[in-house]
Structure 1
Amino acid sequence: MRDFLPADKARRERVLAVIRERYRAHGFDEIETPVMEEYSRLHAGLGGDNEKLSFSILKRGMNAEAIRAAADDPAALTDLGLRYDLTVPLARFYATNRAQLPTVFRAIQMAPVWRAERPQKGRYRQFMQCDIDIIGDASARAEAELMTASLDVLDALGLEGGSIRVNDRRVLDAMLDVFGFVVEERPGVLITIDKLDKIGPSGVVAELRDRGATTGAVDALAAYLDRPSSAPSFDEAGIRAALPTGIPDEVIAHLVALGETVAAARGADAPLVFDPFLVRGMGYYTGTIFELAHPSVDYSLGGGGRYDGMIGRFLGQDVPAVGFSIGFERIVDLLQDAADTGERSVVLVHDRDVPLSTLLALKTALIAQGVRVRVEQRAKNMKALLERSAADGYASFASVGVDTTAESLELRPLN
């Protein structure tokens, strides 16, 4: 959990403003949910490993004897927890407010979440998530809207050239079935397959053998991984060529429709890459899954997928849903040297004898013109004062004496 100095905070707010503006331009509406949810909801088996990282909140009013009696049962000790993502709160929000929402609801959530991580570079215990979700649309159009909006965000931030890796959990299930993995071992098999980029095909096969996975299935997967291959085109022929026989036609048709829809929005060279071994770890995904990539880094800048079964857990009936989360912290790190947005800003450096009325009159006049203004008394070390002002995002400064007027004010650049 971090403090942010003024320059860092200003940069973060500029990035948030771009993300918010572009998502709103694509027809999404912003909502807000509480930072806390019920313990039972956060631990309903929907959050995968994130549930283990949840910060729980001790029940109020428990005495020492009650705490000792419940010490071995977290559910008896706690009734609330800090949200570890924005998807579970959204599902609860929709179930609660459905009657007041449109049939197809497009939501923006931009808020902090908390996980009890081991702090390290790129991993924080409090961090910002920027999510867009579409609830109520089961077609490929929903995924396409999420993808085009998120690629538009990257472009608007100056990170052109992004691409999206796409797969479908139904493809993974069908492939594991074709290879011969039994149902009980598939969650562990997917965990290993998810390491393909890090340990390579031989590492995946070796780990599966060490895990005691079905021998014939591992052999079939090894043969499949060893086959000559190239990056598949995102059309029916390319997708089928990248998969073993036996994948349901309706799943392939969904992916093809997705590719065609994104191509219509982004042009013939739509930046989609079919990756039959993209897994993503969240257990609530039921269909399409995707990750946002950029050539400047070797890690994803966001991702998401379809989670048609989650809202039904709260509502009592299934509602199709799909979401995309921008990796805000990673994007901010990429943009840490980005220039200011061109905001008009000035530091008024005044002599000690300048009347307060003169200073405030000058400040008010500049603010009325849309200028951001800071007032500073002249210091012995003017270099340090001006450097700090520049670091805080100010673009110019002006000296103010007892006779200075708004008309005679001379602005000079800080850089």
Structure 2
Amino acid sequence: MTALSGKRILLVIGGGIAAYKSLDLIRRLRERGASVRCVLTHGAQQFITPLAASALTGQRSHTDLFDREDEADIGHIRLARDADLVVVAPATANLMAKMAGGHADDLASTMLLATTLPILIAPAMNVRMWLHPATGRNLKTLRADGVHVVGPNDGAMAEAEFGPGRMAEPLEIAAAAERLLVRTGPLAGKHVIVTSGPTHEPIDPVRYIANRSSGKQGHAIAKAAAEAGARVTLISGPVMLPDPSGVTTVHVESAREMLQAVEKALPADIGIFAAAVADWRVANAGEQKIKKKDGALPNLSLTENPDILATISHRTENRPPLMVGFAAETEHVIEHARQKLARKGCDLIVANDVSSAGGVMGGDSNTVHLVTASGVETWPTLAKSDVAARLVERLGTLMGDAKP
């Protein structure tokens, strides 16, 4: 028996050249024990046939919103309910736009609008289409609506171009479906909130105060927590990183927005506060760009930002049982981390040296110290992905030790 045994998956096949991979995806899902039914858009039928999909699923494929037989019992509603997961692969630019806009002009889009099931999309399109601002806006909307995303990958395109937009491979999509439907691992059944990246505090519409955070460590932790079986909410400041697959990502700009997003995401079992939140913001941020005036310096009055870690740690209700803070220091790393642990009221501090000599800010490796009330544990220099995996493993152990 496999993780997907007995699970019912509705596969929506969009109209792109990557539709041919969907036939292999059917095979990968079925060999894992899932039953699969297919909905093919009109565009998908230009690349593969309903007969091919039916031959592989062993079930009739659906193509027409106004099919007499299906719609006698409101077939699109039945399709929208009679499954455990909806997978859209390939999710073309057009299909993503329909989903984001709530359009319902064919069977696939109508069913997607009517469903309350979890949805996993595998985007696939030309690199220029993927990088177009409209696709970015649609993707942001879909993520905010709770749609899960796997891929796309970088690779060769049918148009002899290369770049992001290539549909994730069938094995990747099947693995993402498994993570959504059958969460296994040391954090299975847990909800983990992770904050990541910097915050941008506006001075005026074109300038801001920020920290030098790339978000690499926080994003790696979110990914590792998802792979450990957790349901993960990643609250990210402005970064140049793709959203991790299998994770619900909320994008914010300022510290106040980040705190609001964290409070909205509660309750949670673990809170991991890896974001480099700006300590201050401008109290009198300009509504227009501040202009230089004969060399006179602008008068910027600073005010303190909310302390997200301390605010959540000191809550009397909905405080995550395990609170993890980060201490980015340039000197006296362990001493400052111990002080922060006591001051913030959290359970664990991950401290590191972010002085320029270490190359941690923006780099791919990290050297961390785990500081608790009982002591300090120093890890060797590791890739940030390895730091994330090791931290998540430790948190799983701590959660297990906390069980009655």
TM bracket, shorter-chain basis: under 0.3
TM-score, scaled relative to structure 2: 0.21
Q: Which has the larger radius of gyration?
A: 1
**Bigger fraction of residues in strand:** 2
More relative contact order, 1 or 2 (CA 8 Å, 6+ apart): 1
**Bigger fraction of residues in helix:** 1
